[in-house]
Amino acid sequence: MSKELFLMRHGQTEYNVSYRIQGWSNSPLTQEGILQAKAAHAYFQKNGITFDQILSSDLDRAYQTAQLATDYALPIHKQTFLREWGYGSLESKSRKKVTVSLNNPPKKDYFVAFGGEDGTHVQERITQGILSFLEKQADPSKVLMVSHGSVIYQFLTQYCQDIPPIGNCFIFHFIWEEGRLSLQTIIDPLKNS
């Protein structure tokens, strides 16, 4: 018996299209983002995947993605540990004006100078939140968590040698056995539904 985690990035947003830094700012899903979330729903249906728990970041883009991807099958529990990395005063600015990687800045505390979060804190928040939640779940169980690109990147650094692309609505399927997580597959619902 095992527990399964489906960790999913939110659908495309207006800020993704205009190449703006989102962080804790809310930017609505585009029509493409809505289609991506619905493709995730089709993937789950086609593969007979149902969830025992559904969680999302407390930011609107993740919550709406969770609603569309699950067709409102269960209550969705908003969790701040799934929230995007806070970038402080850089949020809403053009990504072209920021010369460092948002996922992997040169120093973990780079964004603190702008009123943002320390990278070490972000990695601890997402990792401890996910692992603590999974530990409390019945065995077997399937959990969907909808989050954001930069925090998923921080989480993946602990489970992957080479970090794969984290496209909108990509789903990272993990198995939890004997207190350990292992990445099984990466799903692009637009190609797999």
Classify the phi-psi angles of 20: left when phi > 0, otherwise alpha if psi is within -120 to 50, otherwise beta: beta
Q: Is 32 a catalytic residue?
A: no
Residue 1's identity, in one-letter code, is: M
For residue 87, say whether it is annotated as part of any ligand binding site.
yes
For residue 184, say whether it is annotated as part of any ligand binding site.
no
For residue 33, say whether it is annotated as part of any ligand binding site.
no
DSSP characters for 41-104? HHHHHHTT---SEEEEESSHHHHHHHHHHHTT-S-EEEEGGGSPPP-GGGTTSBGGG--S-SSS
Q: How far apart are CA 165 and CA 59, in angstroms?
A: 22
For residue 149, say whether it is annotated as part of any ligand binding site.
no
Q: Is 84 a catalytic residue?
A: yes
For residue 86, say whether it is annotated as part of any ligand binding site.
yes
CB atoms < 10 A from the CB of 139, how many?
Answer: 10
Active-site choice (4, 10, 117, 148): 10
Active-site choice (84, 91, 117, 148): 84
For residue 85, say whether it is annotated as part of any ligand binding site.
yes
For residue 20, say whether it is annotated as part of any ligand binding site.
no
For residue 10, say whether it is annotated as part of any ligand binding site.
yes
For residue 4, say whether it is annotated as part of any ligand binding site.
no
Burial of 57 (0-12, 13-18, 19+ CB in 10 A): buried
Catalytic residues, by residue number, are: 10, 84
Binding-site annotation: residue ranges? 9-16, 61, 84-87
Binding-site annotation: residue ranges for substrate? 9-16, 61, 84-87
